[in-house]
Structure 1
Amino acid sequence: MTNWLPFELHCHTFHSDGKQSLAELASAAKDLGLCGVALTDHNTMTGLLDRDSVVANTGVEIIPGLEWTTFFGHMLTLGITEYVDWRNLSPFHIHRGIEAVHKQGGLVGIAHPFRVGSPMCTGCFWEFEVSDWKQVDYIEVWSGLFPSIRRNNIRAFDMWTDLLNKGYRIAATCGRDWHVSDPVTEPISVTYLGIREGYQDLVSAALNALRRGAVAISMGPLPMMSVRSFGGHTAELGDVVEWNMSEHAPVIQIAIDFSAREGLWNLPDQLMKMRLMSNKGELASLELSSEQPHAEYKLDAAGISWVRAELFGTFCGTHTRIGFTNAIYFEEVD
């Protein structure tokens, strides 16, 4: 069984340019219903010195990491135990740094790739040359507060879609880029990671979920998707469905979990639409509500390489994408 736990994967303390201690960050995260955060201070890991005591006192897990803050882009590195130096990386040699992170068992993700750059934000706009996208573990496609309405996030979301269409199985996350623990009035988005039962260490389980693409994003209720294929096998987010023409068509199962962080977001009673998107464009748009939160769709899988679900509705007075799932992939076999 998989439990979908909420995380914030992009946070700062006063060890870089944040205005909060790690304890204040974890306490605020607990108030927001989060199970864990990733500490990604700019170019330093010194904020992790009291990590164990903060976890013990708050119950909020702290994923170790840092944010490479370079002139050519910002890259999030998660799950590393030792500092990885980025200062010798030119715009054409980002893979040297990625290799060093992967050697530690860590993950790398591109942060806010289309945020306005210099002189307003040095290096925020991604300019590194990526020669092998298979080496990039994830892209932060939603950044900041109320991320669905930000133009730079629309570009990042389209970038992720283009990479999926090119055959790259890359995960997408959101990141608040959290610097201050003060309450906010704009909605926040949350990265839900699919944590399998029986885990021994939550940090490792969270990194494994992100690594395999077991990820969903939402500002409110949680959109979910699975695929039931011939023989009753069920594939979850990030999984690969193997099928052939002689079998029954796979069935996409979608749902909205209204209990996810319940009470921490507001949503008017309404019919919402779950759009099933793929490399062939939109496959279907199904209506769901709190009274009818489940639906199924029989998929003609011919020519399909990936499918994801996107939840649309009225949120904070705006008709917008409220959340989305990562992809489930398809391979035709003989």
Structure 2
Amino acid sequence: MTEWLPFELHCHTFHSDGKMSLEELALAAKALGLRGVALTDHNTMTGLAGREEVTRKTGIEIIPGLEWTTFFGHMLTMGIRDYVDWRNLSPFHIHRGIEAVHRQGGLVGVAHPFRVGSPMCTGCFWEFEVTDWNEVDYVEVWSGLFPSIRKNNARAFGMWTDLLNKGHRIAATSGRDWHVSDPVSEPVCATFLGIDGCAGGLVPAALDALRRGAVIVSMGPLPTLAVTSPEGQVAGVGDELRLQTGSRSARVAAGADFSAREGQWELPEQKLTLRIVSNAGTLGEFAVTRSEPSASGDISLDGVRWLRAELYGTFCGAHTMIGFTNAIYVRDLHGGSELT
């Protein structure tokens, strides 16, 4: 059974421009109900020294990472053992670096692609030329605190949607870009990774979840989504639903887990809306509450190649998207190809 564990995937210590030690970062993450963090210091991995001891002391898993911080964009790397140099990456050669990370079994993600750039934030605006988006593992579509209300994140979310519409299977994450542990009044988001057993360790399992797209992002209750084909196959977030009989109908089960990071967010009593969105438009909407947190119904998969759930409601005084799942992909085996 999949366990959804909350992580923060974009963090800095005083080894780059952060204000925390690794242990201070881990303790702050524990106080926020997180299970782990990815340390992504700018252009250095020295902050990872002693990470095993920090995990033993705090219980917080530390995913090794690095943020390439260049004039043309910031790219997050995770799961690498050895430092990968970024200094030979011109705007047209980002794939050199991506290939070097993938050779180590690591992952790469575009950080805050539409944040304001130079001179306010050197390289924060993404300008690298990506010739094959299939080589990019994820996009940080929500960045910062209370990310759903930021216009630059709306652009990043739209960019991810466009990539899905073009047939790319690419994950979406949130990233606080965490530098200091001072108390905040704005909502803190988390990236939940779907862990299917971790006999080999939680860090490899977390990286595998991100690689598979088993990812849900939320500031509050955790939206959930599963689809059952006419043949009885159940596909969860990040999975592929395979249609074998030519039928274009399916059963969708959606919900909101109000126990996720409970105590770390506040939500007025209300009906939340779970919207099922796809490349073919909105497929349906369900109302969920604390007392009735799940719903189900039949949907048509005519022309559908991917679908996700988006959770909406009033949160911190604004009507906004509270969280979203990553995609479930649809393949028509009856015709031998993906639905178009």
TM-score of the aligned structures, taking structure 1 as reference length: 0.98
The residue number in structure 2 matching 1:49 is 49
Q: Residues 117-142 of structure 1: CA distance to partner in whole angstroms, max 9, x if unpaired?
A: 00000000000000000000000000
Q: Are positions 1:195 and 2:190 aligned together?
A: no
Q: Does 1:296 align with 2:260?
A: no
The one-letter amino acid paired with 2:294 is H
* 1:82-125 superposed Cα distances (whole Å, 9 cap, x missing partner): 00001001000000000000000000000000000000000000
Q: Who is 1:104 aligned against? A: 104
Secondary structure, aligned partner of 2:16:
coil
**For each residue in 1:1-45, what CA deviation from the matched residue of structure 2 results, as whole angstroms up to 9, or x when unmatched?**
100000000000000000000000000000111000000000000
Q: Can you give the 5+ residue segments of structure 1 that lack an aligned partner in the other structure?
A: none
2:29 paired residue number? 29
- The amino acid across from 1:59 in the alignment is G
CA offsets 1:236-269 (integer angstroms, 9 cap, x no match)? 1111011145447221110100000111100000
Q: How does 1:1-40 map to 2 (within 5 A)?
A: 1-40=1-40
Structure 2 unaligned runs (5+)?
335-340
| Change over 3 Å in CA distance of 1:314–1:323 after alignment to 2 | same
The aligned amino acid for 1:199 is A
Quote the offset at 1:301 in angstroms.
1.2
Name the SS for the 1:180 alignment partner: coil
For residues 249 and 199 of structure 1, do their structure 2 counterparts lie closer, same or farther at Cα, with a shift above 3 Å needed?
Answer: farther
Structure 2 equivalent of residue 123 of structure 1: 123
| Bigger shift: residues 230-239 or 305-314 | 230-239
- SS of the residue aligned with 2:29? helix
Which secondary structure does the structure 2 equivalent of 1:108 belong to? Answer: strand
**TM-score, structure 2 normalization:** 0.97
Instruction: Output the CA distance in 2 between the equivalents of 1:246 and 1:84.
Output: 47
2:70 matched to which residue of 1?
70
Aligned residue type for 2:209: A
Within-5 A mapping of 1:58-207: 58-207=58-207
CA distance in 2, matches of 1:246, 1:142: 37
**Letter of the structure 1 residue corresponding to residue 4 of structure 2:** W
TM-aligned CA distance change 1:93 to 1:294, over 3 Å: same
Deviation at 1:200, TM superposition (A): 2.2
Code of the aligned partner of 2:37: V
Taking the aligned partners of 1:230 and 1:57, their CA distance within structure 2 comes to 49
Letter in 1 for 2:97: G
Structure 1: how far apart are the matches of 2:198 and 2:205?
10
Structural RMSD (CA):
1.0
Is the 2:272–2:288 Cα contact (8 Å) retained in structure 1? yes
Separation in structure 1 between the aligned mates of residue 264 and residue 71 of structure 2, nearest angstrom: 37
Give me the identity figure in percent: 67
Q: Deviations over 1:171-207 (max 9, x none)?
A: 0000000000111110011000000025321010000
Aligned positions of 1:310-321 closer than 5 A:
310-321=310-321
Q: Which amino acid aligns with 1:256?
A: A
1:299 partner SS: strand
Could you report, residue by residue, the CA deviation over 1:303-322 in whole angstroms, capped at 9, with x for unpaired residues? 10000000000000100000
Structure-to-structure mapping, 1:157-306, within 5 angstroms: 157-247=157-247, 249-306=249-306
Check whether the contact 2:233–2:242 (CA below 8 A) recurs between aligned residues.
Answer: no
2:329 alignment partner AA = Y
CA gap 1:245/1:111 in 2 versus in 1, 3 angstroms: same
SS in 1 for 2:300: coil
Whole-Å Cα distance in 2 between the matches of residues 236 and 308 of structure 1? Answer: 10
- Aligned-partner residue type, residue 216 of structure 1: I
**Runs (4+) off by over 3 Å:** 244-248
Alignment length, in residue pairs?
Answer: 334
Cα 1:248/1:113, change in 2 over 3 Å:
closer
